[in-house]
Every structure is written in C-alpha cells, then in structure tokens.
Amino acid sequence: MKLSSIFVLSIIFFSPFVAAQEGMSYAWDALRPVSDFALQLDAPIKWFVFLLALGILGISLLGHFKSKSKRVLIISFAFFLFALKAFFKVVDIYFSPGHFFSAAATDAADFLIMLSIFVAIFYKRKGTKFFDRDAGK
C-alpha cells in the first residue's frame, strides 16, 4: 500500500474523532439536506420498490414456467424474498414505524437474497462440469 493512500485513509478514519473533540461539525453534515429530502420520499420509494419487486418476480416466474429451468426458479426465489422484504418495509411505514422490520431482519433478508443469487449463478445440471464448454452440444 502506498504511503499516500495510508495517509488519506488515516485522515478519513481519525477526522470524526478530531472534529468531536474540537466542537467542529462533521464532514457528512453537508449531506443532511439530501438525507432530509430522501426521508420525505421514503414512503413513495418503498411502495415503488415493492411494486417493482412484484413485477420482476412475476416476470421471473413466467420465465421459469416457459423454460422449466431450476436456475430461473432460484432467481425467482431471490425476487420473492426481495418482494417480501419490500412488503415488510411498506407495512413498517404504517404499523409501528421503524420497529416492525428491524435492521437485523433486513440484513438477514439481504443475506438470503444474495445467497440464492449466488447459488443460481453456480448452479449446474447433474452430470455436467461447471466450466465445460461442450456441455450444451
């Protein structure tokens, strides 16, 4: 690692501690207006993400029924989990805001989504080699 990159990383890492001790504002305080604006759009964005996830889930299920591929079925499962997570986030807006679907539950859902996509990427048919170019012939 170069000396200049170590210097930049140390400045980034230690600047919040120095700012807190000297009463200065943090570097990310400039992002507060953007964060407040995003907070105003939170409910519509969550609804849009939920509807988009349902749409992509429907398209992936249609793809599975057409191709009968297990790989597409696993991808459909990932989109099902994504739509379910988005649904819980929408429900969280109206019932016990911020307490119904915790950050830990969101992280667990994200892990399962990424795991299913990972499995779909490396899924292979029984009896075929993963990197075999002649498997389709």
Tell me how far apart the alpha carbons of residues 106 and 13 are, in angstroms, rounded to a whole number. 27
- Of 1 and 86, the structure prediction assigns the larger pLDDT to 86
Rounded to two decimals, the pTM is 0.65
Summarised one tens digit per residue, pLDDT across range 11-47 is 666 555 545 555 556 767 777 887 888 888 888 898 9
Closest CA to 39 of 98, 91, 104: 98
On the question of pLDDT at 98 being above 80, the answer is no
Residue-averaged pLDDT of the chain:
78
Structural domain boundaries in the chain? 40-124
Tell me how far apart the alpha carbons of residues 52 and 60 are, in angstroms, rounded to a whole number. 12
On the question of pLDDT at 127 being above 90, the answer is no
Summarised one tens digit per residue, pLDDT across range 59-83 is 999 988 898 888 888 899 999 999 9
pLDDT score at 96: 73
Closest CA to 86 of 47, 116, 117, 115: 47
